[in-house]
Structure 1
Amino acid sequence: MKDKILYWFGADFTHFCSSYYLQKSTDAELYAIIDITNKPKSFFENQTLVKFNKIWFFHDHIKKNTKPDLDYLADFEKKYNIDLLKLAINERMFYRFFDFHNFSTDEILSIVEQECRLFEKVIDEIKPDFLITKEASRHHHQLFCDLCNSIGIKVIMMSQAKIGYKCMLSKESHKFPFPESFNSLQTSNFTFEEIQKYLKSFNVSKQLKSYLDREGGSLKEFIKSVFEYLISDNSHSQTQYYYYGRTKISVLKSFIKSNLHRRQRKSFIDNNLLKKIPKRSSYVYFPMAVDMERNLLITAPYYTNQIETIRHIVKSLPVNYELYVKENPNAASRDWRSIDEYKEIMKIPNVKLIHPSANVEKIYQNSSLVIAIAGSSAFEAAAYGKPSIIFSDQIYDILPSIFKVKNLEDLPELIRKALQTKVISSDVGRYLNLLKKNTFDFDILGFSATFKDKFYHGGNLLDVSISEEKLKDFLMEQKDALEKFTLEHIKRINWYKENVQNKN
């Protein structure tokens, strides 16, 4: 019997490109749920590059103005042990971050209900063996991944490892595919200097900066994208809830407002945040996460108010410690925070607000403890011999020097325990060996930037027509990288078949 492989495709075409090469190496039935805007939809309707047994366009199944069935949603939650409101309230389009439309509670629950019904229908119809997907950044994508995991579909989720230019495949984002106890890991004689050198060679911040520097492309591409947008019919503003309320006038106003805010906020940052690290023998470091990103909204759903989290930390510190809070340099991609938010942080007693350009290596070296909500900072701290505390499940929390907050009331005691913890370089080295074992070379951000440059005017406009001939040329240009990427997926499929199915 042929394997049934279900893909999740979005505006990122990485896995579609991979499916082109996977079909050449496996005799499987291929299916896809496609979360895409109107113009690229025609590409999937007509393309002949990959043969799919069936595809579903996500937005075709989400209609306006339907009354939610709360009994159905409650039964769904119980049946699959999935908290729907935890996902829905943290959806960036539904609450806090979307200025074009105010979603009512009924609208939100109606959308979620239709998503649940679609996902159950797809699974009941084809009964897939595997789901291949990138890590989810939106509530409905995460919902589908959670549903597949709940009912035993073998999920192969690609995520970027906590080091640069490497990816991993597992059933959940940033989780090792093969759980191992720390004591069973291969021993290591790495020194802290060797560990730091290794991390610098795979610098995730450098990789992200390179990606963000390419975002938007050239001025020529920007002008072309504006012209194409202005002459487009903009019909998805009526059919896709991502675009509710997005008229051309409102988008233009938002663009002007966004640019104005970005400049004003950067000016405030440059004039008010500390660029030189104050000389202090005892401080705890808190790196801020970027709002409106998966790291907060999905990974740490109960810690999305970072100002409140800072207050919790300050109240929990020993009296002889200060808290140094550093703005994330990648917050520029979200137009920074409001000036009022920066002022609020600066008002909190015993807090120093640090400029995003400050040397993070020196901060690690001179800190006593790092506390982070998510991200890679806690792991990087271990490389500098510093213990850390995190507020969410992370791939590196297997390290003995990293502590997770399970109850906020225990935070003062946890901080004191962490401050007394010595980081052992061989422990960090053992973790690095585990990371090397479970990752492979693939610059997902570089690949995505290259695709955006070629098809999305540098990322300025996603609702574009995509030529099959042009995409086939791209597949040939990226052949070596895509074949290696696809081979890793085939290896994981085979591992599942040999190790999981034989046990059932």
Structure 2
Amino acid sequence: MKDKIIIWENGSFFPFILCNSLKEYSNFDFYAVIDTTNRRKTFFENQQIIKFNKTWFYHDHIFPHKDEIDVNYLAEFEKKYGINLWVLAQNERLFNRQYNDYYKFSTSEILAILESECKLFEKILDEVKPDFFITIETALHHHHLFYLLCRTKGVKVLMLNQSKFGYKCIISQELHKLDFANTLSPKSPNRNFDELQKYLKSFDMLKQLIDHKNTFLSSKKEKIKAAIQFLLISNNTNIKTHYSYYGRNKIKVLIKEIIYSLKTKYRENFINKNFKRKIDDSVPFIYFTLHQEPERVTLIGAPYFTNQLETVRHILKSLPVGYKLLVKEHPTQSIRGWRSVSYYEQLLNLPNLDLMHPSVNSDELLKKSSLVVTVSGSSGLEAAFYGKPSVIFSDLGYSILPSVFRVKSLEELPQIIKTALQQKVDASYLDSYVELLDQNSFDFDWFGFITSYHNLFYYGGYLADVDIPLEKMEFFIKEHKSTFDRISQEYLKKIAQLKNNT
């Protein structure tokens, strides 16, 4: 009997192209949930590259304007699967007015969407009974809901996610966590901190992110072409059929884009004038890294710590006397137009805090700090390479390191910080974790891949609702064939591993 694979395809084309490679090496039945815009939908309806046994177009099954909500069904769903629906909904950027000012969703609309999704996803999984679910990192609530339901129903997940080292990826059932790696033993002999830092720099995650920032949404020519497409050619039917497009009429989008551009420049000028560029280490400091926002790393990864301003305040309240807090803006926040000036002003007005410019060297901050605190980022791991302990607010793979302390309750934070400050980092444990991560990862520039498909299909990332010509897709598949042939072997190895550990 052939294994059944179901994929979630949302426009990255990674799962789609991966299936094309997998079919060359093994025999699977393929199914697909496709979250796509109306113009892209035509490609998936007509393509013959992958012969899916069945496909479901997500937005065809979602009904936000129901007269009555089956609250009893939703309550039973939560009880049956242990999934908290309001956690997903409250942290959905589309439902949050902080991030989406095009449309205000009512409670009944959100519940109607959740009801439609739950019934659809249950029906799909009960009908297909898939063995494996292939997906990239979940980012929006409905994608993550389908993932959680797969996990609950025993479907083995093959999630591609960025390793904590640059230009490398892993395949795992949980984001950023290695499967079957719950404990860590010290390595002997082991590399020292200097040798480990050289390894870290050879796979520089920050460099990869900055390279992506400098190439994504960077072409003025593509921006103009996208604007012409959207304003003059597109009929913009998504505004009626996709709740994610509600309120986005052409005039409103144009006006908001102009305002957004002006705000971004104003905010950048404020940053340049008011943020510190020199590290003052005359007083011992604890280093906190802001996350890009909105982003999955907090909205899904740390759902109860999404307000980073409040988190900073809690850290300040928890500092031992004799320490101050240095907070650094994330360099890639520029992609989101930076944060509001009022947000920055609130940080600047907090006592015992230095707000650092995004251009300040992160390595120097790590070296000179006494402790690193992050909600859910890689800086907590990077701290260990410089012999510094860290405090995190979410369940991350590297939390198995003895020098990493997780906060589950804010009341614990003052004592956790005091304990962490006394912790010595053992290079032998770090080397063991690095080796473990290296053994389970493979070379793949995920952010480079993102840039490549946005440049070819999406006008450099400026327009999502586009036609996908078959010849363009065939060219893209051919261009990336050797990469996907190699990656497909990693997936086949992972499938075998999960089968052997059932």
Tell me the TM-score normalized by structure 2: 0.98
Aligned to 1:107: 109
Report if aligned partners of 1:281, 1:366 keep a CA contact under 8 Å in 2.
no
Comparing 258-267 with 491-500, greater Cα deviation is found at 491-500
The superposition leaves residues 92-151 of structure 1 with CA deviations (integer Å, 9 ceiling, x where unpaired) of 000121010001111111101111110001011111111010110111111111110011
Query: What is residue 31 of structure 1 aligned with on the other side?
Result: 31
* Equivalent residue runs for 1:111-126 within 5 Å: 111-126=113-128
Equivalences, count: 499
Unmatched segments (≥5 aa) in structure 1: none
Alignment check: 8 A CA contact 1:217 1:457 kept: no
For 2:7, the aligned partner's letter is Y
SS in 1 for 2:399: coil
Contact 2:281/2:368 (8 A) holds in 1? no
Secondary structure of the residue aligned to 2:398 is: coil
Matched, 1:20 2:20: yes
**Contact 1:188–1:430 (CA<8 Å) still a contact in 2?**
no
Greater shift in the superposed pair: 231-240 or 278-287: 278-287
Structure 1 window deviating more from structure 2 (84-93 vs 204-213): it is 204-213
Alignment of 1:238-387 (within 5 A): 238-387=240-389
Give the match for residue 394 of structure 2. 392
Q: RMSD of aligned C-alpha atoms?
A: 1.1
Distance of 2:172 and 2:270 partners within structure 1: 42
Q: CA deviation at 1:186?
A: 4.7
Q: Are the counterparts in 2 of residues 217 and 453 from structure 1 also a CA contact under 8 Å?
A: no
Aligned to 1:4: 4
User: 1:190 aligns to what SS in structure 2?
Assistant: coil
Q: Identify the residue that residue 58 of structure 1 maps to in structure 2.
A: 58
Question: How much has 1:217 moved relative to structure 2?
Answer: 4.8
Residue 42 (structure 1) aligns with: 42
1:70 maps to 71
Pairwise CA distance, 1:208: 1.2
Give the aligned partner of residue 227 of structure 2: 226
Deviations 1:248-283 (A, max 9, x none): 001001101110110010000000010111132411
8 Å CA contact 1:5, 1:29 repeated in 2: yes
Deviation for aligned residue 1:83: 0.6
* Secondary structure in 1 matching 2:25: coil
Tell me whether 1:470 sits opposite 2:472 in the alignment. yes
Superposed CA deviations along residues 5-52 of structure 1, whole A, max 9, x for unmatched, are 101101111111111111111111100000010111000000011110
The Cα of 1:499 is off from its aligned counterpart by 2.8
1:150 maps to: 152
| Unaligned 5+ runs, structure 2 | none
Give me the whole-angstrom Cα distance separating, in 1, the residues matched to 2:188 and 2:19.
38
Structure 1 SS opposite 2:395: coil
Task: Output one character per residue of 1:310-330: Cα deviation in whole Å (capped at 9) or x when no partner.
Answer: 111111111111011111111
Q: Structure 1: which 4+ aligned runs deviate by more than 3 Å?
A: 185-188
Whether the aligned pair in 1 keeps the contact of 2:136 and 2:161 (CA below 8 Å) is yes
Q: Provide, for residues 304-349 of structure 1, a one-character-per-residue CA deviation record: whole Å limited to 9, x for no partner.
A: 1111111111111111110111111111111111000111011111
Q: Identity rate of aligned residues, in percent?
A: 48
Q: CA offsets per residue over residues 34-81 of structure 1, 9 Å max, x none?
A: 001011100000001111000000000012311321111110001000
Could you tell me which residue of structure 2 aligns to residue 133 of structure 1?
135
- Could you report, residue by residue, the CA deviation over 1:334-389 in whole angstroms, capped at 9, with x for unpaired residues? 11110001110111111111111111111111111111101100100110000110
Between the aligned partners of 2:250 and 2:108, the Cα distance in structure 1 is 27
Q: Which has the higher mean CA deviation after the structures are superposed, 43-52 or 215-224?
A: 215-224
Give the Cα–Cα distance (whole angstroms) in 2 for the partners of residues 491 and 60 of structure 1: 35
Between stretches 217-226 and 161-170, larger displacement belongs to 217-226
> Match of 1:212?
213
Are the equivalent residues in 2 in contact too, given 1:371–1:388 (CA < 8 A)? yes
Task: Tell me, in whole angstroms, the C-alpha distance in 2 between the residues paired with 1:347 and 1:448.
Answer: 38
The one-character-per-residue Cα deviations of 1:221-258 (angstroms, maximum 9, x if unpaired) are 22211111112100001110110000000100110111
